[in-house]
Amino acid sequence: MDFVGPIGVTLLIAWALERLQPHRLWSRIGHVTGWPERADNRRRGSVSARVRTPWLRFDYRFVLLGAVLPDLVDKPLAFWIAPELVNHALRSPGHTLIGGVFFAAVVAAAIRAPRRRAVLSMSVALLAHLVMDSMWNTPSVLLWPIHGWAFPEGTVPLSHWLNVHFGTLSSGPLDVAGVVVLFVFAARVVASRSTGDFLRTGNVS
């Protein structure tokens, strides 16, 4: 089930980006030295004080959704909805840069949530999905429609795709790491008794 790994890795990327913000690094240094707190007392309202304000905060509901959205869009198109339109390609509009931005904006607008956080979370997750799919190797899809309107022809039958993705358990490093991250993520949400808060706001304490 090699789709599980990328979901977990996307969660890890979002978590790491949140914690590499300048205000968090500043706080960690201050916890050890006490210097930033003293500096803040001398420079209230300065740039160094304002940098401690969080500017990057993900909605992890949208991170999870964005991690799978390209496949949720493209696979039904290729197998059931419009196979002729996308030339039976398993990677079509959802795996393009322009399509990713469009679908992120549509989902964020349709769901009642803070727009900035929703779009940011979806965009980061979609970009991570494209990177893990190595979409730079297929520029005709990634940069569609710059190279033309037609997608590369797909020839994978549904039965084969289902067997590859659901009939076997992959043990590659990416999949192992992703499964571990997903387990830790779920365990943390449950253990902190913040499941309700996560479902309402997408926050993870």
Q: Which of 13-17, 55-59, 120-124 has the lowest mean pLDDT?
A: 55-59
Higher pLDDT, 31 or 96: 96
- How much is the pLDDT for 38? 45
Higher pLDDT, 196 or 31: 196
- How much is the pLDDT for 39? 44
Average pLDDT, the chain: 77
Whether residue 143 has pLDDT greater than 90? yes
H or E, element range at 125: helix 115-132
Tokens at residue 150, please?
């037609």
Whether residue 26 has pLDDT greater than 60? no
**Distance in angstroms (rounded) separating the CA atoms of residues 56 and 63:** 13
User: Strand, helix or coil at 32?
Assistant: helix
Whether residue 48 has pLDDT greater than 50? no
Domain residue spans in the chain?
4-8+12-50, 60-156
Mean pLDDT comparison of 24-28, 124-128, 163-167, highest-scoring range = 124-128
User: Strand, helix or coil at 78?
Assistant: helix
Kindly report the pTM of this predicted structure: 0.75
Over residues 26-41, the mean pLDDT reads 48
Cβ atoms 169, 4 nearer than 8 A: no
Q: Give which of 125, 174, 122 is closest to 1, Cα–Cα.
A: 174
H or E, element range at 39: helix 35-42
Tell me the CA distances in angstroms from 183 to 4, 18, 186, one per residue in order. 11, 19, 5
Whether residue 49 has pLDDT greater than 50? no
